[in-house]
Amino acid sequence: MRRRAGLMAGTAAVTVLTGALGACAPSKKAAESGSGGGAELRIATTTDVVNFNPLIGNSRTDYWLTNLMYPHLLTVGNDGSKRPSLATKWGYTNPTTGFYEIRGDMKWSDGTPLTASDVAYTLNAVKKDKPSGTLYGQLANFSSAKAVSPTRVELKLSKPDATVIPEVGFWGNVVPEHVFGKAGSVAKFANNANWVSAGPFRLTKVAKGQSYTLERVTPYPFAPGGRPTVSRIVYKVYPDVNTEILALKNGDVDAIANALPPAQVQPLKKAAGITVEEVPGLGYAHLAYNMDKKPLDNVKVRQALSHAVDYDAIRKVVLQGQAVSTGSSPIMPVLKQFHDPSLQEYTFDPAMARKLLQDAGYTADGSGKFPLSFRMIYSLQDPVTAQWATLVRDDAAKAGITIKPQGLERNTYLAKTDAGDYDIYAGNFAIMDDPATNMTLTYLPKGIINYSHVDASDLSTLVTKAQATTDVNEQKKLVQAAAKLVHDQVYDNVMYTQNLYVAHRSNWTGFVVKPSELLSIVDPQSLANVKSSS
């Protein structure tokens, strides 16, 4: 009797489990097969998609995946300059009116033409509903958009702002009005089923925590013959980059699109069957000295701190030579059209640091230590910064300055950053593609990422003027003057631009490398052209 009961319980358990699993089992009918052949490209990522609505999504994987469905008006070159994508022409007709001319040959995957109305709808809806994605942050001086023809959209600005057209074009995805318009607020629309895409791929299957499958969309004008070369893209989720590397070596995936840890680059370059690609960096790592805290409001103290960091050692040891100096300027050399090569990096000179501190009125004790102690926060999620934080501490000690590094879990780090609860902020920005835009965010008193808490009228005047002018030469002069002020007054201590490396299996060719980890080798135009030789 008991045996029978046990057997029945066991059978019931197996039935329940099989039923539950059966619900997860994909049916061939439901999964759309890529039409007409072509290989499948499997790409590793370390995070799930959090949000399928590109106007809300913020994670790297959100960006990679939604970019394959919702086009950007502009893309970016390796030097940060804006290049055509959906938009073929862009600019300003007067200081408060901008425009985009868009292609007339793009369609959504359900056959609806992609027109200027979709662009105008996207911008107006974001302005109205205030979704939490990146685009809304670019619309501070944007009033409204209007489609004046199927291929031209005009933007009205509340005040002159030269950054709106290039930055909205680069950061904003265009979404289909006929889908998103029915959903009510774009800030609350999950967009988690029945995706409509303007190519090159369309999401067809989601297995949370496991994989995301996208099928080819045709026609796509940026693919050879209007047809993406691979039939299917599968993003596979792994817990971290080390497991991704194991999976790449094992042949479980074909590419890793996120940046490799610096120490893994050389071993992977030597690994058989693996190709490593260099991705130009468009961001920088920096130390922001909180000027709300005394004595960091004293320029001599900030200059002393700048002379108490061995930048070369950090770039050579921690970054294994995969980074370049910016000359302590917030305009990196990669931004060729704006960079000022006359600005020189602060030298690592503990004696100079000591002299500056003495000039500032500080006296070292018998052991050579000054009565100065600073708490430096950094995110433990960022292994590179975590490594150089200790070098910064040790270098400062040579100048008699005490720095106490405080590694924090990401959310605590964000909260302390937001509250200004630090003396020194150590971190990095992933993409600083447009100096005028970035300086409004980093150096104006109410800038969202003004981590130095700088409030300097001369700097604010330069930045505000640079933001307003649409004259490129004038803007260059203004941002260079602002960068010189930042350099000389140490309103920000910019340390380096890191060049990134990604890897793929060598049988795959045709990747188009774009700057930054966000674009990397998984930009839509890259994935529409990639080929497998086996």
Which stretches of the chain bind other proteins, using CB under 8 A? 13, 17, 20-21, 23-28, 31, 40, 42, 47-48, 50-51, 53, 56, 58, 130, 132-134, 136-137, 140, 187-190, 192, 207-211, 213, 232, 234, 236-239, 243, 246-247, 249-250, 252, 409-412, 414-416, 418, 441, 448-449
Q: Which residue, among 405, 384, 383, 403, has the nearest Cα to 395 in the 3D structure?
A: 403
Q: Which helix (H) or strand (E) holds 501?
A: strand 500-505
Query: Smallest gap, in angstroms, from Cβ of residue 534 to other proteins?
Result: 18
Query: Smallest gap, in angstroms, from Cβ of residue 447 to other proteins?
Result: 9
- For the stretch 337-344, contacts whose Cβ atoms lie closer than 8 Å and that sit 24 or more positions apart, written own/partner, are 337/79, 337/80, 337/81, 337/472, 337/476, 338/435, 338/476, 338/479, 338/480, 340/480, 340/483, 340/484, 343/483, 343/484, 343/487
3-state DSSP assignment of residue 126:
helix
- Is 413 or 508 the residue whose CB approaches other proteins more closely? 413
**Rounded-to-integer distance, Cα 223 and Cα 246, Å:** 31
**Rounded-to-integer distance, Cα 352 and Cα 398, Å:** 11
- Is 114 or 288 the residue whose CB approaches other proteins more closely? 288
Query: Smallest gap, in angstroms, from Cβ of residue 154 to other proteins?
Result: 25
Query: Smallest gap, in angstroms, from Cβ of residue 188 to other proteins?
Result: 6
Query: Smallest gap, in angstroms, from Cβ of residue 11 to other proteins?
Result: 13
- Is 7 or 31 the residue whose CB approaches other proteins more closely? 31
- Is 23 or 272 the residue whose CB approaches other proteins more closely? 23
20-to-13, 23, 24, 168, 489 alpha-carbon distances in Å:
11, 5, 7, 45, 63
**Rounded-to-integer distance, Cα 222 and Cα 228, Å:** 8
- Is 299 or 441 the residue whose CB approaches other proteins more closely? 441
Query: Smallest gap, in angstroms, from Cβ of residue 259 to other proteins?
Result: 18
3-state secondary structure 96-122: CEEEEEECCCCECCCCCECCHHHHHHH
The angle at the Cα of 79, spanning 73 to 85, to the nearest 5 degrees, equals 15
- Is 94 or 419 the residue whose CB approaches other proteins more closely? 419
Query: Smallest gap, in angstroms, from Cβ of residue 124 to other proteins?
Result: 17
- Is 22 or 366 the residue whose CB approaches other proteins more closely? 22
Q: Which helix (H) or strand (E) holds 16?
A: helix 2-24
